[in-house]
Amino acid sequence: MAESVTVSRVGKRFGMGEAALPVLQDVGLEIAAGEFVAVLGPSGCGKSTLLRLMAGLDRPSTGTVRLGEQEVTGIDPRCAVVFQEPRLLPWKTVAANVALGGRRLPNAPSPEALLELVGLTGFGASRPHQLSGGMAQRAALARALIGRPGVLLLDEPFAALDALNRMRMQDLVAGVCRELSPTVVLVTHDVDEALFLADRVVVLGQRPATVTATLPVSLPRPRDRSDPALAALRAELLSHVGFSSPAAAMDVAAVA
């Protein structure tokens, strides 16, 4: 079942005393159960740190993070993460890697069912080195989904893929989310990706980062990348992240 995520006045520093590096400051964010939120911001501003706090992989220096009504104090089985790299165990088969995501759940679906969901039917007996980069990320997504997480956290999972495979993975994630309806938080540098997938885009500012803008994306699904409404939203979002020139608006690359 999808869970809400509440980030209340969260700050995060690394290190102690005067040498401490402030990364996040007074971040507030409320994500409804079943909502898809994309987080944008400059490199190094703390986007991935915020995701780690939601996942329970790290603790905030100040403030709280909640899944539903429960404060996050450690790794929570209701939450699953897909990282930038697939992080598949090379000595296990693809099916065995996927099964790891559901090992603590007595009624987890079969790995084969999840591989079918992500378009990898027939690859369960393969080893990770036999997969392409896009296929490996599909396997990582299947591993995250096998436990039917209430919150799915995506940390730039398509960053290492070529443009065509990136779009294919975006389409796959959009379809899977329509079918399973988890709460999703996507960290990305790509404005177009954020607008294509998300219900709402949250912009973080420079470090120590806080939320500087929020843009709802109330367009019907499935979305068409050539929709003029997306282009209009793109121009608005680029202005929020500091790119307002016509030349910048034509740049389909990620926000740096």
pLDDT in tens, 101-154: 887 777 778 999 999 999 999 999 999 999 999 999 999 999 999 988 999 999
In a domain, 120, yes or no: yes
**Measured CA distances, 94 to 88, 134, 138, 147 (Å):** 8, 14, 10, 16
State how far Cα 56 lies from the chain centre: 15
Instruction: Tell me, yes or no, whether 138 and 155 share the same domain.
Output: no
pLDDT digits (tens, 9 = 90+) for 64-94: 999 999 999 998 888 999 999 999 999 999 9
Instruction: Tell me, yes or no, whether 135 and 174 share the same domain.
Output: no
Mean pLDDT of the chain: 90
Retrieve residue 238's tokens.
Answer: 């680029």
In a domain, 209, yes or no: yes
Q: Is 150 left (phi over 0), alpha (psi -120 to 50) or beta?
A: alpha
Domain hosting residue 121, numbered range? 85-148
Residue type, 126: S
In a domain, 171, yes or no: yes
Instruction: Tell me, yes or no, whether 199 and 91 share the same domain.
Output: no
The string of DSSP letters for the chain reads ----EEEEEEEEEESSGGG-EEEEEEEEEEE-TT-EEEEE--TTSSHHHHHHHHHTSS--SEEEEEETTEEP-S--TTEEEE-SS----TTS-HHHHHHHTTTT-TTPPPHHHHHHHTT-TT-TTS-GGGS-HHHHHHHHHHHHHTT--SEEEEESTTTTS-HHHHHHHHHHHHHHHHHH--EEEEE-S-HHHHHHH-SEEEEE-SSSB-EEEEEE----SS--TT-HHHHHHHHHHHHHTT--SHHHHT--S---
Q: Are the C-beta atoms of 182 and 152 separated by less than 8 Å?
A: yes
pLDDT digits (tens, 9 = 90+) for 8-58: 999 999 987 777 899 999 999 999 999 999 999 988 899 999 999 999 999
The pTM score is 0.91
Q: How many structural domains compose the chain?
A: 2
Instruction: Tell me, yes or no, whether 58 and 179 share the same domain.
Output: yes
Q: Which of 131, 148, 165 is the last residue of a domain?
A: 148
Instruction: Tell me, yes or no, whether 235 and 172 share the same domain.
Output: yes
Instruction: Tell me, yes or no, whether 120 and 175 share the same domain.
Output: no
In a domain, 254, yes or no: no
Q: Which of 126, 148, 170 is the last residue of a domain?
A: 148
Q: Domain containing 230 — which CATH number? A: 3.40.50.300
In a domain, 127, yes or no: yes
Residue type, 11: G
